[in-house]
Structure 1
Amino acid sequence: MISFFGFSLAQAEETRLLRYPDIHKNRIVFVYAGDLWLVGAEGGAARRLTSHEGFELFPKFSPDGKMIAFTGQYDGNTDVYLIPAEGGEPKRLTYRPGFENMPDRFGFDDMVLDWHPDGNRILFRSWRESYNSWFQTLFLIGFKGGFPEALPLPEAGLTSFSPDGTRIAYNRIFRNFRTWKRYKGGLAQDIWIYDLNQNKIQRITDYEGTDTSPMWYGDKIFFVSDRDHTANIFCYELATQKTRKITQHPDFDVKWPSLGPESIVYENGGYLYVLDLETERTKKISVQIPDDKVLVRPEYVSVKDHVSDYGLSPGGKRALFAARGDIFTVPAEKGNTRNLTNTSGIREKNPIWSPDGKWIAYMSDRTGEDELYIIPQDGKGGEIRITTDGHCFRFAPVWSPDSKKLLFADKDLKLYYVNIQERKIILVDSTKNWEIRDYSWSPDNRWIAYAKPAKNHLSSIFLYSLDEKKIYRVTDDFTDDNEPIFEPEGKYLYFISKRDFNAQLGHFESSFTYNQMTKIYVVTLQADSLSPFAPESDEVESPEERWERKEKERKEWEEKRPEIIEKIRIDIPGIEKRIVAVPTDPGNYSGLAAGEDKIFYLSFPSWTLTGGKPGPKGKLHLFDLEERKDQVLLFPVDGYDLSADAEKIIYRSGKQFGIVGAKPGSCKVGDGALNLDQMEMRLDRREEWKQIFSEVWRRQRDFFYAPNMHGVDWDLMRARYGELLPHVAHRTDLNYILGEMIGELCCSHTYIAGGDMPKVELVKTGLLGIDWEADTLSKFYRIKNIYLGQNWKENLRSPLTEPGVDVKEGEYIVAVDNKALRYPTNPYTLFENTVGKTVTLKINSKPSLEGAREVMVRPIESEYRLRYRYWVESNRRKVEEATNGRAGYIFIPDMGGGGLNEFSESFFPQIKKEGLIVDVRYNGGGFVSEMILERLRREVVGMGCSRNASDWTYPGGTLFGHMVCIANQYSASDGDNFPYFFREYGLGPIIGKRTWGGVVGIRGFPPLLGGGYVTMPEFAPFSMKGEWIMENYGVDPDIELDNLPDQVILGGDPQLEKAIEIIMKKLEEEPKKLPERPPYPVRD
């Protein structure tokens, strides 16, 4: 790879990527490489305060400057900690788990925000009482620990106290880790002031973009805004209600400003700056980190858990792997493991062994682009570059049988082959519809078979003649055909096709779907050849006669083989009529491969949206054409590859790989297991980070839906953010600069997350599914609320409501496992490491140990689903009671499998309601909105009856009533699509707030070296008028209504209440009644 980033002594002297700073007079605390550091406000050499392998974030000096509160992971959970400002042993203050392993874009649990002005309490935000991952709530915890105090606000982001502590300036919305610059959708942040004593709310900014990070200083509130394109610090004057710009950074956004007694410290371009609040002048602080940088020192690491591709040598003696960007071969039994490439800063992928056994071909980004290389399989020689025109993402290569040519495709929707000796690239075909991903060679190297996508989103099989330079169609565009491969003797072309239609009917609804519709098909390539399944006649012969006949046929074929294979005859006229099915049951098939008179393939059970038990589920089959018999070779497997001689198989089953013979009944999963322990590489993380940076930049260039990159100078962005790369000291630093770079595209779904970083072993704290309430008089804890579950579902199990556990709201928990529980001890300290284990509680109706009874329970890992279900059922009851049962209520949490299931579970039981409120607030998106809308928009056009039954509608399972949709700023992605098309279909009014505005979709989470992923927005919607819709704006409601905190605190839900009002008005003014059954006819 071209190195466009250099390391120099000058760069090393002044450190960048100093994160999350805070300042107190002449000292600054900040985060570097996941640890806390302290430096003077004038800069200079910093001093390390923490060194734990987990992260320490969001440090905040106490008002007197003597302590630093921060968010850390010391004890296996993300919690609030406290250390002396000069360093020392951290003190843990919180113990309650929230949402672990959430992507960074949602923020962190128990995130320290500020100190209360009284200097005794620390403000933090947490998911601990949230029923949705979109938002967190605020808590105060004393610096001595104890039980956290909840602030009443229903949701909150970054927050700053007024000097007297009676009010806060805050963001109601938190999106400060979102990698989406110049965002102007419904989730755009504003600054609000909330009076904690009077329950009054005031909005002080109304810019359409981002206003965040409020800092209350005297009669001013400083904040960050991108109203001038790049985010800078602004000041709001409380007296005049005027806003003015303070800082003038043109290139990099101001990040994570923090208020001190006299100044504000913030990040910009990886540097720290201090803003003097008296003069309102900024100064860059030069900081040096005397760090040994252990995390970036080269080391030897195992890569056996980083396998991305695998294959097999022609004779099956060695396995071939791509792992963490290097190419390896591993012996089946004897010999050494070979790392053929040994390149930390280069990604080699898609390796494939040449049929003659001499070479291994692969894609490499050594030049900064995907190029095709070959290397001797024994490692005795350097790699040879085959292509020199790389300009976009390329897919896996395929060798020709004579090992002289390679076939590959690219993201420009083109298919090529290249002659190894001449290095000449020949275009085979191209399309404007989708990627060409399935292609193969004929045994004589003169034909290429491939599947080409058409405008109807189905693929057809084509043949390309190298001699004629001509393309021939094999199958028509009425079927979906893929994975064409030649039979080794050139008699047949095999492919798989979804053409077996056998509908499955829905249980609750009049609907159907097609599944298990794939079969394997055979094309006879010569017009005079019989079908491999032509009728046969059994003749009487002894075993000896049968053996002699087979041996004679084999010898005759061996004599003719060179002549036949030299140039295969393919008769094109009528080829589409010479297709027959392999006699197997239809299923879900893939992974087609062929040996002599043998077809190998994988079958998988039908896919369900919410999945089943984890682990491999595939079956590897062998269909014997001579015996006309199908057998399962291996189960369970995830995938396999066949050796060139079709005698050996490498299989993958979970993390296990093995090589076995390709014969039925001779092996099972676990046989031939490969030892991957010697798959090691010398890892230079700095080099790897360069590669990741380059690959992320290229992936967006190649896959982003708009080739103009939204008008962004993409080369300039590579240069701008690339200058930070030499300062990366932790994978989170890399993710940060990548997020900043892809955020410049100003587009939804530009995500970066994960990767190789120190792991902290989680210690799970058990939960009871309750709200605790401290009785400060008796010093005992009372059960305020018990969240009911559905105890037949493990993820909805509520420990205190299980059969035989007799515990009521209002009772006291006075001891846990014989340890007395008294206020202000944090109750969760007694539930560490108890998830799924039996715990004995002492319960009493009074605040006393005396007379307490014992109950045994099994604490759960998370209360989120219990709280979520409580919120949904409360809403359903409100609608039921307010409408006297006439209207129904459905909440759809996402547009994935879970959301679709919840819709179905709620819709059909309420099918006879006169009206329906569909609530898609907080909907996290997915892809099933069109399925749900298809159900909702069905119209009743007829009725039916039976003598002793209630009447039914035609079509069945259809609601005949009015509908209302509720959406808010958290209705996102496919949750944007739903209200938009709800309106387009004329289903009813939309109530609430403008939605998220992020509808450029992605396909999966493509992995990066060392783990982690990046997403590329590829799929953008536009209207029937030919206009881009929703993106970076959202969907406006018909009735705009905000659930303001002061109303929600008092128990209100104005949006739901308005929906009830509208649906009742519809029911009264525009009643929809199904017709009565007419008098029975008399036909005499």
Structure 2
Amino acid sequence: MSYSGYYRFPTINRKHLVFVCEDDLWSYNLEDSSLSRLTSNYGAVSTPRLSPDGKHIAFVGTEDGDMEIYVMPALGGPAKRLTYLGSTLKVAGWKNNNEILFSSNHGMPFPRMFDIHSVNIKGDFPKCLAFGMGNDIAFGQKSVILGKNTADPARWKRYRGGTAGEIWIDKNGACDFKKLINLKGNLACPISINNKVYFLSDHDGVGNIYSCSESGKGLKQHTHHKNYYARNASSDGESIVYHSGADIWIYDVTSSSSQKIEIDFRSPMIQKSRKYASVQNYLEDYALDKQNSMISYTSRGKFFTMGNWDGPVFQLGDSHGVRYRLPRFFKNDEKVLVFSDQGGEERAEIHHFDGSKRVKVLEKLKIGRPYEVKISPKEDKALIHNHKHELLLLDLSKEKLTKIDRSEYSPIGGFDWSPDGKYIAYDCSLNRRSSAIKIHELKTSKSHIVTNPVLH
């Protein structure tokens, strides 16, 4: 019986394959099918790349919290941290056997903007290469190929917006970059082999490997995946490895053929094992009743009530398959208003505090996705702030929903009831730059601005 894992970020050097699974690096020999674990880190690793001579692996590690570049022997051993940038980055390849190329947003004004950097395996301070913004880089005999916005296309399938991936090329190494090819798709992972540029693109609907000349002509499709995108391709100049779904595939440039690499993954799979999770470590939301004698809370999407000093813990709602949010006591603390995703969309439900009575579902109310809920101190009414920037009043007795206001330009920053339950104070934007506090009177159903507008 064979076992399999979820394999990502493959890199190859001749018959030596390295990939990520279970957030660690694994080594696989294509000749004898031997498999070994290279790391057992506390933090996740990603984007490994084997050096041209196959002696080292550069990868991104998170052992100290931030993403940083590490290097280790290809056959296993201690890893050495090379960067201390505290930024988002990924390994883009090797310039030579001693110099690692990586992309990073270090020093950039916006998180989405990346530059290409290099760092040697001794750990000297990284250098920013003067190629302009880019996420990936490849070198031909004379050419420099730059990937701009070339993140993983599978993260946003068939995206066609202004930040879709593009590939630019400087044919003669003179820093004169021009767009390689115009395709209505999201491009990624440029690779130079035999004066051709190989890359990933989803312009035909699903991400696959394509190639063209350095002049952008002779477009050719090499793989034909239909269900899962080809992702995170890399090459040693002879073969291209990538993952599609949970599997690693290898494309042989000479024979123009691709095949799935069958790996017998003998891991204890600790991350899939049953574990006992501490509820307090996964506490999501909680609220006290009016007497401060009971608490309702959600943990890991499950919904509970319990006494603060004694008594049992009640799990309310379905035990599995439904996520609950924002539980709030009302009706003399006998009932709890909560929101669930049962049926695919957020809906309001009313539960008895100990689950002894039938659940009431408020199905016809268009609440949207609630961000915050507050119960009236005097009546069975709830204020709801949702993803549409709306402030809604829910009458729990009449099951009636009323829109009080909508913050046109930004989310409502805060809201609350007056102690007598007759008024509602809330923050509301007036334009793109300023907001003010408004007071809503329930008796007249009118809102009034009570402060001077202030800049955001």
- Scaled by the length of structure 1, the TM-score of the pair is 0.36
- Structure 1, gaps ≥5 residues long: 1-9, 100-107, 414-432, 458-481, 488-492, 504-511, 524-575, 589-604, 610-1084
Q: CA deviation at 1:50?
A: 1.1
- Identify which of 267, 281, 284 aligns with 2:260: 284
The answer as to 2:427 corresponding to 1:452 is no
Find the counterpart in structure 2 of residue 908 from structure 1: none
Which runs of structure 2 are paired with 1:86-235 in the superposition (5 Å)? 86-95=75-84, 97-99=85-87, 108-109=88-89, 111-116=90-95, 118-162=96-140, 164=141, 166-176=142-152, 179-194=155-170, 198-235=174-211
Native 8 Å contact 1:222 1:236 kept in 2? yes
Q: What amino acid is the match of 1:452?
A: K
- Distance, in Å, in 2 between the alignment partners of 1:580 and 1:223 is 59
Identical amino acids, percent of aligned pairs: 23
5 Å-filtered alignment, 1:262-281, equals: 262-281=238-257
- Structure 2 equivalent of residue 495 of structure 1: 423
Distance 1:31 1:360, change over 3 A: same
1:457-508 Cα shifts (integer Å, max 9, x gaps): 8xxxxxxxxxxxxxxxxxxxxxxxx989997xxxxx823479xxxx9xxxxx
Residue number in structure 1 paired with 2:36 = 47
Between 1:193-202 and 1:365-374, the stretch displaced more is 365-374
**Structure 1 letter corresponding to 2:136:** L
Residue equivalent to 1:694: none
Whichever residue aligns with residue 29 of structure 1, its letter is: V
State the partner residue of 2:15.
26
Which residue of structure 2 lines up, in the alignment, with residue 1031 of structure 1? none
CA contact 1:140–1:148 (8 Å) conserved in 2? yes
Distance in 2 between residues matched to 1:409 and 1:74, nearest whole Å: 41
State the Cα distance separating 1:438 from its structure 2 match. Answer: 0.7
Do the aligned partners of 1:326 and 1:339 also contact (CA within 8 Å) in 2?
A: no
Q: Which residue of 2 aligns with 1:386?
A: 360
Higher helix share: 1
SS in 1 for 2:277: strand
Aligned to 1:440: 395
Task: State the alpha-carbon separation in 1 of the partners of residues 111 and 233 from structure 2.
Answer: 25
- Cα 1:407–1:260 shift into 2, 3 Å: same
Contact 1:440 1:484 in 2 (8 A): no
| 3-state secondary structure, aligned to 1:299 | coil
Q: How does 1:356-435 map to 2 (within 5 A)?
A: 357-365=333-341, 370=346, 377-378=353-354, 384-387=358-361
1:322 to 294, 298, 316: 298
Q: Structure 1 residues 298 and 606 mapped into 2: Cα distance closer, same or farther (>3 Å)?
A: farther
1:543-597 alpha-carbon deviations (Å, 9 max, x no partner) = xxxxxxxxxxxxxxxxxxxxxxxxxxxxxxxxx6xx999xxx9857xxxxxxxxx
Instruction: Give the CA deviation at 1:133.
Output: 3.2
Match in the other structure for 1:255 = 231
User: How has the CA–CA distance of structure 1 residues 408 and 81 changed in structure 2, closer, same or farther, with 3 Å as cutoff?
Assistant: closer
Distance 1:42 1:337, change over 3 A: farther
Cα deviation, 1:309-342, whole Å, max 9, x if unaligned, reads 42415x442232234323333545x325725249
Q: Which residue of 2 aligns with 1:312?
A: 289
Letter in 2 for 1:152: A
Distance 1:407 1:448 in 2: 11
Q: Report the equivalent of 1:340.
A: 315
2:278 to 301, 304, 319: 301
Deviation (angstroms), 1:377: 3.2
Q: Residues 364 and 127 of structure 1: is their aligned pair in 2 closer, same or farther, counting only changes over 3 Å?
A: closer
Question: What secondary structure sits across from 1:274 in the alignment?
Answer: strand
Secondary structure (helix, strand or coil) at the match of 1:146 reads: coil
Per-residue Cα deviation, 1:263-305 (whole angstroms, up to 9, x for no partner): 1111112221110111111101223433333334322213366
Cα distance in 2 for residues equivalent to 1:151 and 1:196: 17
Asked if the contact 2:362/2:399 (under 8 Å) is kept, the reply is no
2:73 alignment partner AA: P
Q: CA deviation at 1:217?
A: 1.0
Q: TM-score, normalised by structure 2?
A: 0.79
Deviations along 1:590-622, one digit per CA (max 9) or x if unpaired, are: xxxxxxxxxxxxxxx98752xxxxxxxxxxxxx
| Distance change (3 Å), C-alpha of 1:193 and 1:456 | closer
Distance 2:49 2:19 in 1: 9
Other structure's SS at 1:89 match: coil
SS at match of 1:295: helix
CA distance in 1, matches of 2:131, 2:369: 51
Q: Which has the larger radius of gyration?
A: 1
Structure showing greater relative contact order (alpha-carbon pairs closer than 8 Å, 6 or more residues apart):
1
Displacement, 1:410? Answer: 12
How many residue pairs align between the two structures? 439
Q: Structure 1 residue 36: deviation in Å? A: 1.0
Q: Which amino acid aligns with 1:138?
A: I
Shift of 1:93: 2.2
Contact 2:150 2:166 in 1 (8 A): no
How many Å separate the matches in 2 of 1:294 and 1:280?
38
Q: 1:521 to 1:46 in 2, by over 3 A?
A: same
1:38 counterpart letter in structure 2: S
Matched, 1:56 2:45: yes
- CA distance in 1: counterparts of 2:82 and 2:163, whole angstroms: 32
Measure, in 2, the Cα distance between the counterparts of 1:232 and 1:580. 57
Structure with the bigger percentage of strand = 2
Give the conservation status (yes or no) of the 8 Å contact 2:196–2:211. yes
Distance 1:51 1:222 in 2: 33
Q: CA deviation at 1:30?
A: 1.0
What do the CA deviations read for 1:404-463 (whole angstroms, capped 9, x no partner)? xx999999x9xxxxxxxxxxxxxxxxxxx996721236xxx6x67763368998xxxxxx
What is the CA distance between 1:358 and its match in structure 2? 4.4
Please give the residue correspondences for 1:1020-1039 in structure 2 after superposition, counting only pairs within 5 Å. Answer: none
- Alignment of 1:244 with 2:220, yes or no, is yes
Which runs of no fewer than 5 residues in structure 2 stay unpaired?
409-414
Cα distance in 1 for partners of 2:293, 2:106 equals 55
1:81 match: 70
Letter in structure 1 aligned against 2:287: Y
Q: Secondary structure at the match of 2:242?
A: strand
User: Structure 2 matches for 1:455-534, cutoff 5 A?
Assistant: 494-496=422-424, 515-516=436-437, 518-519=438-439, 521=441, 523=443
**How far apart in 2 are the matches of 1:238 and 1:185?**
25
1:112 partner letter: V
1:191 alignment partner, SS class? strand
Identify which range, 340-349 or 205-214, moves more after superposition. 340-349
Q: Residues 81 and 344 (structure 1 numbering): CA distance in 2 closer, same or farther, change over 3 Å? A: farther
The answer to whether the 8 Å contact 2:105/2:112 transfers is no
Q: Is the 8 A contact 1:273 1:282 kept in 2?
A: yes
Residues 49 and 241 (structure 1), Cα distance of their counterparts in 2 relative to 1, 3 Å cut: same
Could you tell me how far apart the structure 1 residues matched to 2:113 and 2:17 are?
30
- 2-side partners of 1:241 and 1:580: how far apart? 65
User: What's the RMSD between the two structures over aligned residues?
Assistant: 4.4
Quickly say closer, same or farther: Cα 1:253–1:486, change in 2 above 3 A. same
Contact 1:373-1:384 at 8 Å conserved across structures: no
Q: 1:520 to 1:121 in 2, by over 3 A?
A: closer
